[in-house]
Amino acid sequence: MSPSSGPVPGSGPADSAAAPAAVTFKAGCPQCRARFELGAGALRLAIGGSRRTTFYSFTCPECGASVRKPAGERIVELLTGGGVSTLRSV
């Protein structure tokens, strides 16, 4: 992308309401072994009372498999900070 392709800082109303950059997460499918990037809207995070019940899930865009992976503290922090919708169970 060239420097002239975007708005010039201070040149108008777009400068005061700059859109945040879209967050993407790298993921992989254990079924078809594809690697890809997903937006926050494609991921779901479930936070349970234990490590076994805290996970994130998504649907593989390549093969359509439902993927569920464990989410430790760091993953939970990254996903919630990136705008992934979260379900908390008690």
Q: What is the mean pLDDT of residues 11-34?
A: 75
Q: What is the mean pLDDT of residues 21-34?
A: 94
Q: What is the mean pLDDT of residues 26-34?
A: 97
- Give the separation between CA 23 and CA 79, rounded to whole angstroms: 10
Q: What is the DSSP letter of 4?
A: G
To 10 degrees, the CA torsion angle through 70, 74, 78, 84?
30
Tokens (6 digits) for 67:
């993927």
Going by pLDDT thresholds of 50, 70 and 90, the confidence category of residue 17 is low
Mean pLDDT of the chain: 83
Is the pLDDT score of 60 beyond 90? Answer: yes
Going by pLDDT thresholds of 50, 70 and 90, the confidence category of residue 89 is confident
